[in-house]
Structure 1
Amino acid sequence: KIEGRTKSPYYAAVTAKAYREAIDDYYENKFDASKYQKELHTTKNRGFTDAYLIHKPFEKLDSQNHDYALSKGSFEVTGLVSEDEEHFYCKYKVYPNEDIEIFTPHNTVLHECDNEIGRVFKKENGLYYINFKKILTQDNKELESVHSGNVNKIKLPCKLPYLTMFRVENISENIE
């Protein structure tokens, strides 16, 4: 169960994927707590506690955070792939010639592509990225950039799995 008032689709996806990978890695003797912790910190959150795992809330003072604002997380979601797997909806802002990390559902296999719209590629860090050479709406209108207020479907260079998210690293980490 994923708890919290501030949970978003990104929060739920990252948390579920990190937990699933932690469980799978544990049984394969590849468990690395720092890997899952790093991924969990990409989400907006109010901090982490052991909650009911170790003590009952009334026995411990850190079961809830009332001291500081919501952490922005280290990443911002910039896009969400639509059901047709050929377009995405902008959730933040996207510019041409910008490497944007691709965050996929658990155990998804991606394939690289490169065409006039853009490319999907794997970097040395093992992660996949998308880079748009041009931003085209579903109706082939070319845009200089796209922002979250734009509700048009934006073309992908190749099919990506439904509910795949694009994310970029945040420069600032806390909401004031």
Structure 2
Amino acid sequence: MTISVTDDVWRVVSIVGAGLSIWQSFWGARSVDRSTRSRWWTSGLFRRLPLIIAELAASLAGPRRASDAEAWRAHLLGDPDRGVALTRRQQWSTAVGFLFAAGRMRWNDLCRQMCRPADWIVASEVRIAKFVVTAGVVAGVSLHQHGGWARVWDDFEQLGVLVGVLSGACYGWRRLRGIDRSPG
């Protein structure tokens, strides 16, 4: 049995032709007037999409900023009484800007929560002292475990530098964040 290349080509052409005829029977041979058919970008969904994006941004921003949804929606709709309205392009860019702003708001909330323990430590002189001394003692004990007292005496300068850097970082953090001293 000898199969030539032309037989294989004809088989592929017939399979592709059958597939195209099936495709055309489902999708291509419709008797719809394409001039009156509404495309999705001219439909109501495309016009409402910036508002939907603003709602998504408001939900992304978190429950603390639930009032932002109304303000963002009002900004997108404009004020037709005064003749202030955004174009479609301005609505889209503003809605995407709201989305990025909501992401930044959520990120700032996360960072604020992560900074709370450090803020609590630097709010008191006693807590700063306890933190710095504890870090120095832990480093000294680690040096003693890995090399005995000789290692501790050899690296005594580094322990002093560690304590100085930590106390400076605590006071700098307090100044950077604007934290007032609290008793105890």
Q: TM-score, with normalisation over the residues of structure 2? A: 0.21
Normalised by the length of structure 1, the TM-score is 0.22
Higher relative contact order (CA 8 A, sep 6+): 1
Rg larger in 1 or in 2?
A: 2
Whose helix proportion is higher, 1 or 2? 2
